[in-house]
Amino acid sequence: MSTLADFSSVVVTDKAVLFDGIELPAYIAQGGISFKPGGWDDVNRLTVEFLVGPVVFTDPTVEAEVVSEDYNESERRWNTLAFWIFAEWQMATDRTNKLTKEFLGG
C-alpha cells in the first residue's frame, strides 16, 4: 500500500498547479480545480480540469470508459430536467383543473 510519502507534493496558486515544483504545462479552466481532503485513507484528492484542443486516446478501452461516463452524466442531467418539467406541468395542470372546477362549478 502507498504511503503519503509516495505521493507528489502539490502547490496550487491562482495561476498554476505544481507537482513536486514542476508546473503543469496546460491551461486550467476557471473554477477547474477541486480538492477533497483525505478521508478514511488519509489520501487527498485534487481534480484539475484542463482546457484542451483535440484529444487522441491510444487505448480504445479508456476512450470508451471516458466517453460513456460523460454520456451517462449528460443523460442523467437530461432525465432530471425532463422529470422537473413534467412535475411543473402536472402541478400547473392540477391548479388549472382546480380553478376551473371552482369557478365553473364543475
Element (H, E) at 104: helix 60-104
Claim to verify: residue 5 and residue 42 sit in the same structural domain: yes
Claim to verify: residue 60 and residue 42 sit in the same structural domain: no
Claim to verify: residue 15 and residue 61 sit in the same structural domain: no
pLDDT beyond 60 at 27? yes
Q: Write down the number of H helices and E strands in the chain.
A: 1, 5
Claim to verify: residue 49 and residue 63 sit in the same structural domain: no
Q: How far is CA 44 from CA 3, 30, 40, 81, in A?
A: 12, 21, 10, 33
3-state SS class at 106: coil
Is 0.75 surpassed by the pTM of this model?
no
pLDDT tens profile 52-93: 888 777 777 776 666 666 556 777 777 778 778 878 888 888
Claim to verify: residue 71 and residue 27 sit in the same structural domain: no
Number of domains in the chain: 2
Claim to verify: residue 60 and residue 85 sit in the same structural domain: yes
Residue 12 grid cell: 496550487
Residue 43 is given by DSSP the state: -
* Containing structural domain, residue 80: 56-106
